[in-house]
Amino acid sequence: MNKMQLTVMIEREGDGYVALCSELDIASQGATVEEAKANLAEALELFFETADPSEIERRQSSEVYFTTLEVAVG
């Protein structure tokens, strides 16, 4: 079985959490951080099992950056 390391951002939204894999633009949610992460892993595995290789290639971003940015407010 092949493995792939992906970037995941988890953000609180209302009473739960949303997990986003920005490389493939796939998201899931859960009541806890752990549940959101597990649900995203399941969604990603299902995507890789069912998606056409061209769909995977089209969605896959090879470079993702997370950084901070200072801006003037007010």
* 22-55 per-position pLDDT tens digit: 899 999 999 999 999 999 999 999 999 999 999 9
Q: Say how far apart CA 9 and CA 56 lie, in whole Å.
A: 20
Cα 21 to Cα 28, 47, 58, 70: the distances in Å are 9, 12, 15, 24
Residue 28 domain flag: yes
Q: Say how far apart CA 29 and CA 54 lie, in whole Å.
A: 26
Residue 55 domain flag: yes
Residue 38 domain flag: yes
Which tens digits make up the pLDDT trace of 1-20?
Answer: 789 889 899 999 999 999 99
* Global pTM value: 0.83
* Domain containing residue 24: 8-59
Tally of structural domains, the chain: 1
For the four alpha carbons of 1, 21, 19 and 48, in that order, the dihedral sign comes to negative
* Tokens of residue 16, six digits: 């739960």
Residue 1 domain flag: no
